[in-house]
Amino acid sequence: MRITEISSAQNPRYKNWLKLLDGRGIKKQEMALIAGRKVLNEFLQQFPDRVLGVILKKAEDAAPLAVPEDCPAYLLPHDLFAALDIYGIREPLLLVSAPPLPEWDGSLAEGLTVFLPFQSPINLGTTIRSAAAFGASVVLLHEAAMPYLPKCLRASGPAIFQVPLFRGPSLEQLAAYGHLPIFALSPKGENIFGFPFAEYAGIGLVAGMEGPGLDAFWPEEKRLSIPMASNVESLNASVAMGIAMACRLGSIEQVPKRR
């Protein structure tokens, strides 16, 4: 593996990497940064074709990583590396391709599709990881955070490339798709644990934004609620969607009877 040393903050390549800390830079360059040795190895093992390079603080840091021989490596001094290492973990950083998401076609494929407006990168990444676990496709609504932000990728891990991921409309625009079986998670609605998920070949679940929710847009007859203790006001948005996805999968699985 050939290592290129970069020592100046004025280096054009380095200046472009700094722009990968926000959504606009990621979108323009179609590239993203991933941090964390465990997460890095997962990406290297599962999606080596998406890896564009590895950024190192010390040359020997590359040894434990499953870096392909032809993968570019870059060595930075402490101060330049620290500016990219937003978690301060002093571990190698991975550069991966971050192509534009395809547009949602306005239909529901067989199985579960979840529609996410989450503006918190951590909530978004965590829910994408859950979607991979529960076999769901994901449509990111207009309100959602950029899925390739470092915090989102750290939360999602390789699930970001495992799930079918699409770009969709806004929450308000999605509500106009009344002909589709898309149900909203809401504090007021039908008990989700009794909902007949198995009756739908393709179904959608949509969550509200953190805080405001979505009751202003969604008809009451298409809302599902998760029962909670009366002294708890609400669930974290990502947790609620994870429960809903698990509930749907559990309801359609054939569970053998106990003897």
CATH (domain of 92): 3.30.1330.30
Confidence class for position 255, pLDDT limits 50, 70, 90: very low
Does 204 reside within a domain? yes
146 and 242 assigned to the same domain: yes
**Residue count (the chain):** 259
Which one is predicted more confidently, 46 or 256? 46
Question: Over 50: is that where the pLDDT of 151 sits?
Answer: yes
One domain for residues 142 and 229: yes
pLDDT at 82 over 80: yes
Q: Is 257 domain-assigned?
A: no
Residue-range definition of the domain harbouring residue 81:
3-97
* CATH classification of the domain holding 164: 3.40.1280.10
Is residue 247 domain-resident?
yes
218 or 52, which is more confident? Answer: 52
Per-residue pLDDT averaged across 12-40, rounded?
Answer: 93
- Asked if 118 and 239 sit in the same domain, the reply is yes
Q: What is the mean pLDDT of residues 241-248?
A: 96
Q: Which residues fall within 8 angstroms of residue 88, CB to CB, at 6 or more apart?
A: 82
For residues 206-222, average pLDDT = 80
- Clarify whether residues 84 and 117 are in a common domain: no
Query: 3-class DSSP state for residue 121?
Result: helix
Please tell me the distance from the alpha carbon of residue 233 to that of residue 212, in angstroms, as a whole number: 13
Q: Return the pLDDT at 125.
A: 96
Tell me which residue of 67, 82, 89, 86 sits closest to 3, measured CA to CA: 67
Domain boundary among 65, 97, 129: 97
Number of domains in the chain: 2
pLDDT tens per residue across span 88-97: 888 899 999 9
**Mean pLDDT of the chain, nearest integer:** 90
